[in-house]
Structure 1
Amino acid sequence: MSEIALVTAGEMGAAVGAQLVGAGHRVRWLPAGRSEASRARADAAGLEAVERLPDSTEVLLSICPPAAARQVASQFASLDVVYVDANAVAPATVRSLRVAHLVDGGIVGGPPTADSGPRLYLSGERADAVAALFEATTVQTRVLGPDVGTASAMKACYAAWTKGSAALLLDVARLADALEVAEPLRAEWEQSLPGLPERLAAAERSATTKGWRWVAEMQEIAETFASSGLPDGFHRAAAEVFGQP
């Protein structure tokens, strides 16, 4: 049994925590300043609420909105723990975190359930040890080597397409509405691009509930492109799309 702590208990964090509890680990979290919804999720997941992390904590798992990743890490810079940053940030962002023992993480897929789970990409010198924590869970770990930043690079490349293309589709639909050609465009999609109207509907649903946190993720992806000498305008525009009401 390992002693693990979660910074927050959002939908993903609480579900990951529940898997770790089910695997026999002791999982704590910090409820100060969190919503009643987070507290309810944490209780349902079997997480132990504490005011401060005990010295026995071995692993601290950060799963939070990407815009908060740096601030969250700074709060725990003095702790001698393995700090897993599993947030959707640029490789340069995760490398900038000043924590004791940093493991880079990137989650692909939705919150884990009893039957299935996401892929958790990991990189860093202690990535194998973190992966071992999830052996009896539905979270599927993929260790990508010893370099911090590799897991975040994998996540950025994946989301650059999935969420970036969703933003483009949303913007095309808004353009068609503005030009009053939405009806014939959707009819053409049904004929020549079957499945696209359904994908648009899914993108609209997701953007309604999660678009606010995707703004920062698109900005992080844009930084990833720019740092590689590639055009970054696609995802800066995607951030604008997700930031629109």
Structure 2
Amino acid sequence: MAEPTVGILHPGSMGAAVAACAATNAARVLWCSQGRSPASAARAEQAGLTPVSTLHELLDQSGIVISLCPPAAAEDLAREVAGHAFDGTYVEANAISPDRAERIASLLGPNTTAVDGAVVGSPPVRGKTPTLYLSGPTAATTMVEAVFVGTAVRTRVLGTQVGQASALKVSYTAFQKASRVLAALATGMARQYEVDQELLEVAARRSTSYLAEPEYIPKVAARAWRWGPELEEAADTLAAAGLPPEMLRAAASTMARWHDAKDDSDLSVADALEQLAEP
């Protein structure tokens, strides 16, 4: 089988790192520079990606396209791709609900083979090895798996149904990210009553508690702009399953208080908690 050309939409921190791994086995990995920021261009260059000027060029030359973008943009991006009648494999790898993954597969049209994807773990840099979970037609998932053989991105096929990979992602998101929000709220509450150190002592007796890791709170704040929409997707999934979504919606709303902390690597615990306490 000839090595495919892969297109990445769009090279954020996760997308660029995943694309760099794909370049190990792909003929080329393309990205569209039109309308993208200097930061995106720098990431793409560092990852060794090949720039093209327009989305049409990227789609025309790619056999596989991987969509890795903020959840809120996933559907609009897929709709834009559908407008070009793309006839390859489209990996919808964003943190979205299963219903939304199925909707995107439908709007892509009959010429496009839709694969549901979900990345669990940190970007594949500095020894990190995330897993790309896949679900969809067997021939397509096999082709996507081949792109990542021998790289830091591990793959696992969950089945042939679009929506399975997204279901796993939002199920993991529901606990993994909401629990960190709850830890921040609990710490902030205790701090108001000057018992935060005592709370840490209590939490430290359970080594698996995020309450024992207050240094993680600024990292949550810096990622809130991405995690909030992911929690909304998880809430949609709970509602679709007949389960109460209010806790996750409240967690997403809480993250909105960190809107000024986007990607701030210098944020302290005190600063993050101060922002959390402001309406």
TM-score by length of 1: 0.93
Match in the other structure for 1:74: 79
> Contact 2:203/2:212 (CA < 8 Å) preserved in 1?
no
Distance 1:166 1:129 in 2: 36
Match in the other structure for 1:104: 116
Gaps of 5+ in 2: 259-279
User: Which residues in structure 2 correspond to 1:114-153 (within 5 Å)?
Assistant: 115-125=127-137, 126-153=140-167
> Contact 2:24/2:148 (CA < 8 Å) preserved in 1?
no
Residue 216, structure 1, aligned to residue 223, structure 2: no
Count of residues paired in the alignment: 243
Secondary structure of the residue aligned to 1:144 is strand
Alpha-carbon deviation of 1:178? Answer: 3.1
Give CA-to-partner distance per residue, 1:105-139, whole Å, 9 cap, x none. 00001111374421000001122221121113221
Distance 2:93 2:212 in 1: 30
Match in the other structure for 1:170: 184
> Contact 2:5/2:26 (CA < 8 Å) preserved in 1?
no
Distance 2:207 2:62 in 1: 51
Residue 201, structure 1, aligned to residue 205, structure 2: no
Distance 1:135 1:185 in 2: 45
* 1:195–1:225 CA distance, 2 compared to 1 (3 A): closer
* 1:195–1:105 CA distance, 2 compared to 1 (3 A): closer
Gaps of 5+ in 1: none
Residue 65, structure 1, aligned to residue 70, structure 2: yes
> Contact 1:8/1:31 (CA < 8 Å) preserved in 2?
no
> Contact 2:6/2:26 (CA < 8 Å) preserved in 1?
no
* 1:114–1:237 CA distance, 2 compared to 1 (3 A): closer
Secondary structure of the residue aligned to 1:193 is coil
Task: Calculate percent identity across the aligned residue pairs.
Answer: 38
Q: What amino acid maps onto 1:105 in structure 2?
A: G
Residue 230, structure 1, aligned to residue 243, structure 2: yes
Distance 2:184 2:93 in 1: 27
> Contact 1:123/1:145 (CA < 8 Å) preserved in 2?
yes
User: Which residues in structure 2 correspond to 1:182-201 (within 5 Å)?
Assistant: 182-190=196-204, 192-194=205-207, 196=209, 197-201=211-215
Match in the other structure for 2:270: none
Give CA-to-partner distance per residue, 1:51-77, whole Å, 9 cap, x none. 122523111110011111111111101
Match in the other structure for 2:32: 30
Alpha-carbon deviation of 1:225? Answer: 0.6
Distance 1:134 1:189 in 2: 40
**CA RMSD, 1 decimal:** 1.6
Secondary structure of the residue aligned to 2:129 is coil
